[in-house]
Amino acid sequence: MNILVLNCGSSSVKYQLINGDERKKLAGGVVDRIGMSGATLSNVRYDGDDIKITGEIVDHTVAIEYILAILLSRNHGVISDKSDIHAVGHRVVHGGETFSGSVLITAEVIKTLQDNIELAPLHNPHNLRGISACEANLPGTPQVGVFDTAFHQRMPKKAYLYGIPYALYSQYKIRRYGFHGTSHRYVADRAAEMLGRPLSELKLVTCHLGNGCSMAAVDKGISVDTTMGFTPLEGLLMGTRCGDMDPQIILYIMAKEGLTLNEAGTLLNKHSGLQGISGVSSDMREIIAEMNNNDRKAGYAFDVFTYRVKKYIGAYAAAMGGLDAVVFTGGIGENSAEVRKACCDNLGFLGIEVDDEKNSAKGKERNISKDDTRAAVLVIPTNEELVIALDTMDIVATMDQT
Ligand code: ADP
């Protein structure tokens, strides 16, 4: 079964066509600058053939048209008819409290997603646009929503309630939701396979460190706590997001600098994090390069970033009452030996000891802990698209049986 996996943003659509039975990516790419001049589609086929097309891509419906045209094209395509796409799987950012698993998209689901727009104003509207663009281009093809929040929906109340009046939770659903759930779920499953033990026996701390960063405490396969909160702003230091801080600070800055609500939001989401502290970049590679050039503020940014990860490893080991493995994933987690080493430094008391040679070796999935340590340290490249494709395939298979 071929599944078109879509991740629709405000001005971009990332896509992959995956053969779910063989777990094989047939083609993938991105449409960028939707609605702007110089919009492009870049496509890479499984055999490395790549092509970039520029066009008038005015909205998401046209973006999907371009994607279908390239997937069907004689020279660069991989399918011969639209009906070779058996289902579409969408990454949907916010499922609110309604969705604790992936669902077939129906009129009712769309209505619920519309009701959740306030919870994820930056993401859910574009996901909805992608869904209607597929209805227009692939009428009758089943569509499935896979939610970033779903994996964290089994968190206990003590982990998701904030210390504000309970009425604000009841009325506005203000609580911790957590994000990156598809990635945390994928790496937790892979960790169990790598360790050769059932997930139901394991206490894992999963660290998704990319532009956005979050960690999860995964106890017996259930996310029991996670660092992102009501929005993706909470928790770890990120490329441009501040993560944890005293909430009073923002009120103080707003008063001092006369900021509007929007300006305050932009400060915390776009001008903080690695970028804000270093003044150098939001990109960890540049932070490390400048730190190695003795740039003091780049060094502070690196230290705050890695210290927070380490602090949460300890916190989550305490929350679960033990630790079998720490898993690193995401662009930084998968690629930066320096970050992994600093995050795990001095954690021998938790059974964590990184082997420098294994840590600096290149490779895909691997265990980088010293031999015979109590806890493993794993590097696992994430694959959210595969999870979306497999969930979609499962849901479509159940439809076929009914
Ligand atoms: P996104 O969250 O947008 O999916 P990624 O998971 O691709 O992003 O992560 C992007 C981050 O990964 C950037 O901060 C980038 O600097 C970092 N990164 C990629 N390669 C390396 C590397 N070799 N060393 C350190 N950081 C890296």
- Decide whether any atom of ligand 1 lies within 6 Å of the 284 Cβ: yes
Query: Quick check: 401 pLDDT over 90?
Result: no
User: Hey, which of 228, 332, 335, 343 would you mutate to test ligand 1's pocket, going by the most ligand atoms within 8 Å of its Cβ?
Assistant: 332
Q: Which atom of ligand 1 is nearest to the CA of 382?
A: 6
- Compute the radius of gyration of the chain from its Cα atoms: 21
Residue with the bigger pLDDT between 400 and 162: it is 162
Beta-ladder partners of 88? 4, 143
The closest residue, in CA terms, to atom 23 on ligand 1 is: 335
The pLDDT of residue 205 is 98
Q: Assess whether 10 and 109 both reside in one domain.
A: yes
The pLDDT of residue 119 is 84
Q: Assess whether 237 and 358 both reside in one domain.
A: yes
Q: Assess whether 220 and 325 both reside in one domain.
A: yes
The pLDDT of residue 2 is 97
Taking only the tens place, the pLDDT of each residue in 340-373 is 999 999 999 999 999 999 999 887 899 999 999 9
Query: Quick check: 121 pLDDT over 90?
Result: no
Cα dist. 135→106, 189, 235 in Å? Answer: 11, 32, 37
- Give residue 53's domain range: 2-147
Q: Assess whether 210 and 133 both reside in one domain.
A: no
CA of 331 to the centre of ligand 1 (A): 3
Q: Assess whether 270 and 207 both reside in one domain.
A: yes
C-alpha 66/C-alpha 52 separation (Å) is: 11
CA of 332 to the centre of ligand 1 (A): 4
The pLDDT of residue 117 is 87
CA of 334 to the centre of ligand 1 (A): 8
Segment 140-157 shows an average pLDDT of 97
Q: Say if 50 falls within a structural domain.
A: yes
Segment 96-104 shows an average pLDDT of 93
Q: Assess whether 132 and 207 both reside in one domain.
A: no
- Decide whether any atom of ligand 1 lies within 6 Å of the 273 Cβ: no
Residues in Cβ contact with 174 at an 8 Å cutoff, skipping those fewer than 6 apart: 162, 164, 168, 230
Q: Say if 112 falls within a structural domain.
A: yes
* Tokens encoding 211: 């532009």
What is the DSSP pairing of strand 325-329 with strand 203-209?
Answer: parallel
What is the DSSP pairing of strand 39-45 with strand 24-32?
Answer: antiparallel
Taking only the tens place, the pLDDT of each residue in 59-72 is 999 999 999 999 99
Query: Quick check: 284 pLDDT over 80?
Result: yes
Domain at 239, CATH number: 3.30.420.40
C-alpha 27/C-alpha 131 separation (Å) is: 20
Q: Say if 168 falls within a structural domain.
A: no
Q: Assess whether 242 and 348 both reside in one domain.
A: yes
Q: Assess whether 52 and 113 both reside in one domain.
A: yes
C-alpha 154/C-alpha 225 separation (Å) is: 9
CA of 299 to the centre of ligand 1 (A): 17
- Decide whether any atom of ligand 1 lies within 6 Å of the 281 Cβ: no
Q: Assess whether 136 and 217 both reside in one domain.
A: no
Q: Assess whether 208 and 112 both reside in one domain.
A: no
- Decide whether any atom of ligand 1 lies within 6 Å of the 360 Cβ: no
The closest residue, in CA terms, to atom 4 on ligand 1 is: 210
Task: Compute, in degrees rounded to 10, the torsion defined by CA atoms 265, 269, 272, 274.
Answer: 180
Exposure of 354 by Cβ count < 10 A (0-12 exposed, 13-18 middle, 19+ buried)?
buried
The closest residue, in CA terms, to atom 13 on ligand 1 is: 283
CA of 209 to the centre of ligand 1 (A): 8
Average pLDDT, the chain: 96
Taking only the tens place, the pLDDT of each residue in 160-187 is 999 999 999 999 999 999 999 999 999 9
C-alpha 174/C-alpha 191 separation (Å) is: 32
Q: Assess whether 340 and 207 both reside in one domain.
A: yes
The pLDDT of residue 153 is 96
Q: How many domains does the chain have?
A: 2
CB 211 within 8 A of CB 239: yes
Q: Say if 214 falls within a structural domain.
A: yes
Q: Assess whether 223 and 367 both reside in one domain.
A: yes
Query: Quick check: 118 pLDDT over 90?
Result: no
User: Hey, which of 182, 209, 211 would you mutate to test ligand 1's pocket, going by the most ligand atoms within 8 Å of its Cβ?
Assistant: 211
- Decide whether any atom of ligand 1 lies within 6 Å of the 283 Cβ: yes
Query: Quick check: 13 pLDDT over 90?
Result: yes
Q: Say if 164 falls within a structural domain.
A: no
CA of 336 to the centre of ligand 1 (A): 8
CA of 258 to the centre of ligand 1 (A): 34
Residues designated catalytic = 148
The closest residue, in CA terms, to atom 24 on ligand 1 is: 336
- What phi and psi, each to the nearest 5 degrees, are found at residue 66? -60, -45
Query: Quick check: 130 pLDDT over 90?
Result: yes
Q: How confident is the model at residue 402 (pLDDT cuts 50, 70, 90)?
A: low
Q: Say if 58 falls within a structural domain.
A: yes
Query: Quick check: 262 pLDDT over 80?
Result: yes
- Decide whether any atom of ligand 1 lies within 6 Å of the 285 Cβ: yes
User: Hey, which of 284, 382, 383 would you mutate to test ligand 1's pocket, going by the most ligand atoms within 8 Å of its Cβ?
Assistant: 284
Short-list 4, 13, 24, CA closest to 141: 4
Q: Say if 156 falls within a structural domain.
A: no
Q: Say if 52 falls within a structural domain.
A: yes
Taking only the tens place, the pLDDT of each residue in 218-249 is 999 999 999 999 999 999 999 999 999 999 99
